[in-house]
């Protein structure tokens, strides 16, 4: 029997339906795309001790706060990321200044003595940073980053474990060493369980791991969070990681220098936050940080300022 010919209209309708089905299937696959979880390069984020902090950071107001901090700190984060890579240290340490200071260079707790994005105490600056009546390098995001990474790396070399190194950064290497002598289980989590370290150190590592995990896995947790930093920044931005430097041997006002250079004073000040009095220290060699490409302009300006000063 000769088969019946297909109705052209029915065939056309069938092809249209088939095409639409394929399109919708592709859309479903896109919407059902599985986002892989990215483990931190410091272990412990899966522990029960971290869970309450992670739940806190995933609340709407905390997500907004994290996003704002990450955005405002982008220029400093770029330098921290670069230095962590150079020192072969865990990349998630980029997020440690968030819980220390919200990445604010002049952050100082009410009634506290710590300062800067890494919250150095006065008794912990040596031999890493300078602190005197003229200069406080804890306020310098770049110098204090180098100092903090050196301190963290020293802690890790001493204890061989990043949670212990972080605890030592928070409460001191001496306190951690003494606590370890009181137990056969040489782990941070054991010290916490037995309450052998201060409460602020017991909270410190889980709090950090929760913040870092939330940021690194924002897409996995379906959070609207700005977590990326531009690895190819605008070179015209004066606060990124490439600078010029000029050395002076006398007291020079930043305001006067900025005026002579026709440079925005706030830019020069922000690049030299270590200077407590808005000028370089007298009778002392001091190196000023400048926007890239402005060394010659600064040298000419300093020459004019010192020449005028010496004629008085």
What are the boundaries of each domain within the chain? 51-216, 245-311
Give 72-84 pLDDT, tens digit per residue: 999 899 999 999 9
Give 280-308 pLDDT, tens digit per residue: 999 999 999 999 999 999 999 999 998 88
Which residues are registered as beta bridge partners of 243?
291
Q: How many CB atoms lie within 10 A of CB 111?
A: 5
CATH for the stretch 51-216: 1.10.530.10
Q: Which residue has the tokens 């010029």?
A: 244
**C-beta of residue 105 within 8 angstroms of C-beta of residue 116:** yes
Q: Kindly list the distances between the CA atom of residue 213 and the CA atoms of 30, 46, 166, in Å, as whole numbers in the listed order.
A: 25, 9, 16
Report how far residue 220's alpha carbon sits from residue 149's, in angstroms, rounded to the nearest whole number: 29
Mean per-residue pLDDT of the chain? 89
The DSSP element (H or E) to which 291 belongs, if any, is strand 286-291
Higher model confidence: residue 241 or residue 250? 250
Q: Which residue has the tokens 């919200």?
A: 102
Two tokens, residue 217: 């896995």
Alpha helix (H) residue ranges in the chain: 8-31, 51-57, 60-72, 74-86, 96-101, 141-159, 162-171, 173-180, 188-193, 199-216, 254-261, 265-271, 295-311
Residue 13 has pLDDT above 90, yes or no: no
Residue 29 has pLDDT above 70, yes or no: no
The percentage of residues in the chain with a pLDDT greater than 70, rounded to a whole number, is: 84
Which residues are registered as beta bridge partners of 120?
115
Give 100-143 pLDDT, tens digit per residue: 999 999 999 988 899 999 999 999 999 999 999 999 999 999 99
Classified as helix, coil or strand, 226 is coil
Averaged pLDDT for residues 161-165: 98
Classified as helix, coil or strand, 137 is helix
Q: Closest by alpha carbon to 62, among 207, 229, 166?
A: 207
pLDDT attached to residue 310: 72
Classified as helix, coil or strand, 90 is coil
Report how far residue 142's alpha carbon sits from residue 271's, in angstroms, rounded to the nearest whole number: 9
Residue 95 has pLDDT above 60, yes or no: yes
pLDDT confidence tier of residue 225, bands split at 50, 70 and 90? confident
pTM above 0.95, yes or no: no
pLDDT confidence tier of residue 28, bands split at 50, 70 and 90? very low
Averaged pLDDT for residues 184-212: 97
Two tokens, residue 227: 């977590």
Is residue 26 classed exposed, middle or buried when 0-12, 13-18 and 19+ CB atoms within 10 A define those classes?
exposed
């Amino acid at each position: 029997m000769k088969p019946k010919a297909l109705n052209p209209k029915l065939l056309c309708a069938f092809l249209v339906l088939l095409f639409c089905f394929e399109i919708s299937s592709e859309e479903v696959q896109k919407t059902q795309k599985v986002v892989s979880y990215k483990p931190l390069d410091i272990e412990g984020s899966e522990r029960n001790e971290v869970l309450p902090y992670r739940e806190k950071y995933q609340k709407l107001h905390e997500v907004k706060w994290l996003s704002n901090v990450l955005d405002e700190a982008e220029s400093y984060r770029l330098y921290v990321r670069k230095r962590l890579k150079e020192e072969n240290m865990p990349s998630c340490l980029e997020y440690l200044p968030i819980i220390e200071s919200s990445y604010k260079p002049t952050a100082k707790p009410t009634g506290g003595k710590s300062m800067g994005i890494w919250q150095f105490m006065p008794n912990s600056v040596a031999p890493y940073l300078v602190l005197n009546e003229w200069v406080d390098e804890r306020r310098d995001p770049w110098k204090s980053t180098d100092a903090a990474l050196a301190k963290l790396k020293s802690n890790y070399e001493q204890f061989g474990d990043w949670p212990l190194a972080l605890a030592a950064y928070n409460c001191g290497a001496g306190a951690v060493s003494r606590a370890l002598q009181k137990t056969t289980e040489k782990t941070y989590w054991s010290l916490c369980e037995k309450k052998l370290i201060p409460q602020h150190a017991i909270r410190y590592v889980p709090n950090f791991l929760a913040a870092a995990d939330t940021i690194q896995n924002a897409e996995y947790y379906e959070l609207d969070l700005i977590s990326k930093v531009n690895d190819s920044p605008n070179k015209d931005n004066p606060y990124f990681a490439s600078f010029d430097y000029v050395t002076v041997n006398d007291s020079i006002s930043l305001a006067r220098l900025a005026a002579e250079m026709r440079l925005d004073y706030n830019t020069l000040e922000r690049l030299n936050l270590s200077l407590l009095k808005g000028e370089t220290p007298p009778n002392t060699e001091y190196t000023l940080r400048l926007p890239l490409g402005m060394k010659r302009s600064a040298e000419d300006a300093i020459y004019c300022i010192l020449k005028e000063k010496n004629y008085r």
